[in-house]
Structure 1
């Protein structure tokens, strides 16, 4: 059920498209007696205003349409030239179909305009081959697009929504107020604030999905804020946030030392020094996002974290100091350090997102590589990175190109009347899964049957009275363009059949056979689209999301092992930090697959796999692989007992990642048996900041992975039970999802 605002938007769009299409059509057909530009001026607003889903406000959509006009003119010219031979038109359709569908890599606006641009080529690539009419075709197209842009701008324009920058500023302000103690929100409120920044909750026009530096910076800032809010929610649940806010965290060791002694307890001077700086960076970032300029310099948080770590190292290295930090204090400091690292990534990415210019190298360079790259390299990397069988964008482009090429071949070979309706059916009814395509085409054929009967009755009753068709066209378009989106595909197809019958009857004499040709072409296009949907990735993103998640986790597992090796190396610094480039590439593909997966209806398939949790865990692994070797490298080699403890925890976390990767990919687990994990040995008398920070990272990571494993195990078992007709419940899910270090737990939140 659509909301009132959605219904109003549909009605307003119907009015704008009808006004633009009618103005151009009537002016050329009856004012200038030119049927060719009349036809193109009619279909241009329908293509870009109705068939396309260009996001944004009225002004934003008008700008996209005017930018798309030169491309549309080129496509009409190309189609006109290639209409000379069927094989030439088919080859052109394959190339144009793939390129326009693959334009989704550039962001939601090019992706939204692509279907309309496809129609421009489709209209021109069919016989009759009349290159002398090219000027008239281009004139009609240009007039139609300009009229639509003017209507989008001035006639019931769609208002602008909240920008991503403002949404980001609000979330950063919530984090800053929470850290400063100005508010005390619940964990649920903090997680909800982070969930509002998920791209599925952001209007398509405002999503930071392009390849440019500024857009990438805002996207990275959004990920950092969501991670920060999740950290604050977890700290609120454990009570550590309250301890940090109320005096920087209280130690549990009596005596003097660097902190002030109050009520027999020693305050944590290091946390008291760092926390206000973290709050200040949050406040500055929120203010910069609201103003759109003046982002903080990226060195501030970097220097603060370095000084904070130096304090901790000095404190741990002086056993004679009575107030030396205890293990509980070091763990709270580790939590604050993780928060500070999230804020560090936030302040850097906010500056890049607001500035957008190339910068000098920012550490870690693999994470901020795009800040120093030229624009051409950013585009090339986005394009090449998606030219792979693991990319759902590549899947969709290949599928639509093959379907349109096959439809053009069939229409040309069989010499179907009005053959472009075959391609139009493929273009408008194809979906990313076979089930969705079948459902859409089944409704479309039923609607077209009813519409064809109604159109046949209309053509027989009215005959050759062109003035009657002229009177019916504008109100018919208004009705069809309004009711179709509101009532469903069947209504849309049936009413559109009446519209095209009314329009074509004014271009050339028509009989009831026009309706017959319409239904024949739609059925042919539906069959071709259904066949391509069956052969080319029929499951959509459902299988691909599993494969990409499995590949992502397999790339992340070595990062944990290499991070532990870098921290425990003797002498310190002799082992370089791990390279994350391959994992970052896998992360991008997994995010694309997950985005499409969330856009596809669940249907009868069981839901519950926590793919979003897997993505968050991957982000956590990538960031830990960067900041732990950067800020936690010990000054001297760690004791052998500490090194062995770190390696044991690391191997347990790697085993969890590999087990989850195998579960995602449908492979057998690495180990057939999983012995009970022994509890970790008691901490050494002198706890080390490096070991505590590593333990905190691995504990949090393993707990999140375990929750994802529990959800995925239960989903896989439910699927197997449904396939075999069994009713046995899943009894091993909880056992198989225990933390590998013995410190994990379940959050109690449902999977996303």
Structure 2
């Protein structure tokens, strides 16, 4: 059910498209007596204004349309030239269809303009082969797009929404105020709500930082860091640790031996104000839209904080009058995670607002894009998705094959108005065969109703073009408004009436025009359904399983490699694990999950793919920052190091078992996770927590706590968090229901 604002925008859009289409059409047909440019002036606004879901305000949409105009002119030229032979037009359709559909990897705006650009080539690639009319075709297209852009700017334009930068500034300011003690008593639900508003699915498409450029990548990473920060604060609020940090509970009560008031945690009160101040600076920079002149990185402060923690547990007796309790060390680990989130946030905001290339920033795997050229960023985005594991690649191949087949059939059978065949394929194709069949049934029913109405109109009115001219504009207004409001049946029925009245003014037409449209739509529907059945018919349902399994298999080596780096002898002799393969597979898995969520009955499997992505983010975060800030300066106790390695191997085996379950292997998931139910301490790094994390039940009583060393405490917090997440995920995977609880 559409909201009132959505219904209002649909009506306004129908007014804009109708005015632009009718104006260009009437001027060329009745003012200049030029039917060829009239056809292009009619369909250009319909293609870009109605059939292309270009997001954004009126100004943003007009900008996208004007930028798409040169591409449209090129496609019309290409289609006009290749219309000489059916085989040439088919090959051109395959290439153009794939490239334009694959443009979705560049972000919402290119993806939104792609269907309209497809129609520009489709309209031009059909007979008659008339290269001498190319100038008239380009003129009509230019006039149509120009009129539509003017209407978007001045006729009831859609207002601009809040920018992602402002939403991010508000969320960061909330976190900074809470850390500085200026805001008290914020419930965890409110903090999570601030973070949820930064999820890309909750951001208007035009404002999403989804492009391949440096600024877009950096703002997306900043949003991830801000969401992670707010989730960390929400969790610490639930456990009471945040209140302890803010109150500075770092003194004993006198019952442990030393006199009351002895400070046992000078490190946290030293770091916390710096973290809060940097949050305020980031929020102010985002509001101004200008990066700080002198960025204040937290690298040195975090390093000093870690050295203070080490001195607390390994210093001389005179320096450590009171033993540091493990709960204090765990609270320090939580503050360290918050500081790392703010460090990533500050760097990302700086790059996002500045947009220029920078010297290498550590860890380079996390901030690789900051030093890359624009051409490399675009190339990486396109080549990175050029794989059978990419749903964007799936969709591009499917639509290219369907359009190519439709052009071949229409050309071989010499169908009248054959471009309607391709239009049906383009507008009715969906990502699953079930969705495609449902759309086709409604479209065929609507076209039958529309064809009967249009046939009766053509018989009754005959060749009186003035009557068709009077009917066209109101028919377009109704079709463009009622179709999106009431569904495919209304849209197809009314659009059939529109094309009948339009073509009757260009050339003599009879009731057979409506008959031809029925034949073309049914032909296009059959081709689209056949391609949907043959090419990935279940959409992302299977792909999300395969990509999640591949992602989990990359996590095991990261977990073991991180533990080996921290426990190596001598310290620092083992390099940190490489996260590139996991980062690449993570992007593919997130794309598959995004499409999976857009398909009907996405939750039928019961698997918590969102929670699995959270767990993988946890793996990547720890693998990136634990070796950077927790590398010990002296050898760890052998027994403790051995236990840590055993825990890491057990968690890695759990990821392998979950990978087997994702692909349906029968030997997967025979045993529960090796370290079930542990408290979640969210770690820092680069990866948005996609869902809110929950606390577990604590470590098993039989498992001895790690020695009070910062490295071992931080590693233990990371591994217990992973075990808790993986346990909850495993409980929902197929084949595990009822076997064990999380």
Pair 1:93-2:115 in alignment: no
Q: CA 1:171–1:360 in 2, change beyond 3 Å: closer, same or farther? A: same
Pair 1:414-2:436 in alignment: no
1:30 maps to: 30
2:199 maps to: 198
1:445-484 to 2 correspondences below 5 Å: 445-484=444-483
Mean Cα deviation higher: 639-648 or 554-563: 639-648
Q: CA 1:413–1:169 in 2, change beyond 3 Å: closer, same or farther? A: same
Give the drift of 1:235.
Answer: 1.4
- SS of the equivalent of 2:733 reads helix
- Measure, in 2, the Cα distance between the counterparts of 1:248 and 1:663: 45
- Measure, in 2, the Cα distance between the counterparts of 1:676 and 1:705: 10
- Measure, in 1, the Cα distance between the counterparts of 2:302 and 2:311: 14
- Measure, in 1, the Cα distance between the counterparts of 2:589 and 2:165: 24
Mean Cα deviation higher: 629-638 or 290-299: 290-299
2:4 maps to: 4
- Measure, in 2, the Cα distance between the counterparts of 1:345 and 1:672: 39
Pair 1:303-2:310 in alignment: no
1:518-667 to 2 correspondences below 5 Å: 518-602=517-601, 606=604, 608-667=606-665
2:215 maps to: 214
- Measure, in 1, the Cα distance between the counterparts of 2:661 and 2:185: 39
Tell whether the 8 Å contact from 2:391 to 2:595 is kept in structure 1 after alignment. Answer: yes
- Measure, in 1, the Cα distance between the counterparts of 2:250 and 2:52: 55
2:440 maps to: 441
Give the drift of 1:648.
Answer: 2.1
Give the drift of 1:17.
Answer: 0.3
1:497-508 to 2 correspondences below 5 Å: 497-508=496-507
Give the drift of 1:699.
Answer: 1.3
Q: CA 1:287–1:538 in 2, change beyond 3 Å: closer, same or farther? A: same
2:739 maps to: 732
Give the drift of 1:324.
Answer: 3.4
- Measure, in 2, the Cα distance between the counterparts of 1:97 and 1:330: 58
- Measure, in 1, the Cα distance between the counterparts of 2:667 and 2:369: 37
Give the drift of 1:240.
Answer: 1.2
- Measure, in 1, the Cα distance between the counterparts of 2:229 and 2:667: 33
2:282 maps to: 285
1:234 maps to: 235
- SS of the equivalent of 1:300 reads coil
Give the drift of 1:449.
Answer: 0.3
- Measure, in 1, the Cα distance between the counterparts of 2:726 and 2:671: 19
Give 2:724's match in structure 1, choosing from 687, 703, 708. Answer: 703
- Measure, in 2, the Cα distance between the counterparts of 1:587 and 1:296: 34
Give the drift of 1:179.
Answer: 2.1
1:634-669 Cα distance to aligned partner (Å, 9 max, x none): 110101111012112212221222222222222244
Q: CA 1:325–1:298 in 2, change beyond 3 Å: closer, same or farther? A: farther
For structure 1, which runs of at least 5 residues remain unmatched after alignment?
A: 718-729, 738-752
1:306-317 to 2 correspondences below 5 Å: 306-317=303-314
2:426 maps to: 427
Mean Cα deviation higher: 411-420 or 320-329: 320-329
Tell whether the 8 Å contact from 2:651 to 2:674 is kept in structure 1 after alignment. Answer: no
Pair 1:47-2:69 in alignment: no
Tell whether the 8 Å contact from 1:361 to 1:369 is kept in structure 2 after alignment. Answer: yes
- Measure, in 2, the Cα distance between the counterparts of 1:395 and 1:39: 33
- Measure, in 2, the Cα distance between the counterparts of 1:177 and 1:640: 43
- Measure, in 2, the Cα distance between the counterparts of 1:378 and 1:63: 23
- Measure, in 2, the Cα distance between the counterparts of 1:675 and 1:458: 70
Pair 1:682-2:681 in alignment: no
Give the drift of 1:178.
Answer: 2.4
Tell whether the 8 Å contact from 1:564 to 1:646 is kept in structure 2 after alignment. Answer: yes
Give the drift of 1:676.
Answer: 7.4
- Measure, in 2, the Cα distance between the counterparts of 1:675 and 1:580: 23
Q: CA 1:466–1:674 in 2, change beyond 3 Å: closer, same or farther? A: closer
1:237-278 Cα distance to aligned partner (Å, 9 max, x none): 221111111116556786899xxx7x5564521001011111
- Measure, in 2, the Cα distance between the counterparts of 1:111 and 1:523: 27
Q: TM-score scaled by structure 1?
A: 0.92
Q: CA 1:663–1:7 in 2, change beyond 3 Å: closer, same or farther? A: same
1:132-143 to 2 correspondences below 5 Å: 132-143=132-143
Mean Cα deviation higher: 189-198 or 531-540: 189-198
- Measure, in 1, the Cα distance between the counterparts of 2:342 and 2:199: 18
1:510-521 to 2 correspondences below 5 Å: 510-521=509-520
1:66-111 Cα distance to aligned partner (Å, 9 max, x none): 0000000010011011111100000000000000000111110000
Q: CA 1:343–1:641 in 2, change beyond 3 Å: closer, same or farther? A: same
Pair 1:509-2:531 in alignment: no
Tell whether the 8 Å contact from 1:221 to 1:350 is kept in structure 2 after alignment. Answer: yes
Q: TM-score scaled by structure 2?
A: 0.94
- SS of the equivalent of 1:553 reads helix
1:310-355 Cα distance to aligned partner (Å, 9 max, x none): 1011111126222232211111111111111111111111111111
For structure 2, which runs of at least 5 residues remain unmatched after alignment?
A: 676-699
Which structure has more relative contact order (CA 8 Å, sep 6+)? It is 2
- Measure, in 2, the Cα distance between the counterparts of 1:657 and 1:100: 37
1:110 maps to: 110
Tell whether the 8 Å contact from 1:82 to 1:92 is kept in structure 2 after alignment. Answer: yes
1:100-138 Cα distance to aligned partner (Å, 9 max, x none): 000111110000000000000000000011111111000
Aligned residues: 715
Mean Cα deviation higher: 653-662 or 635-644: 653-662
Mean Cα deviation higher: 25-34 or 342-351: 342-351
Q: CA 1:675–1:216 in 2, change beyond 3 Å: closer, same or farther? A: closer
Q: CA 1:581–1:628 in 2, change beyond 3 Å: closer, same or farther? A: same
Tell whether the 8 Å contact from 2:673 to 2:726 is kept in structure 1 after alignment. Answer: no
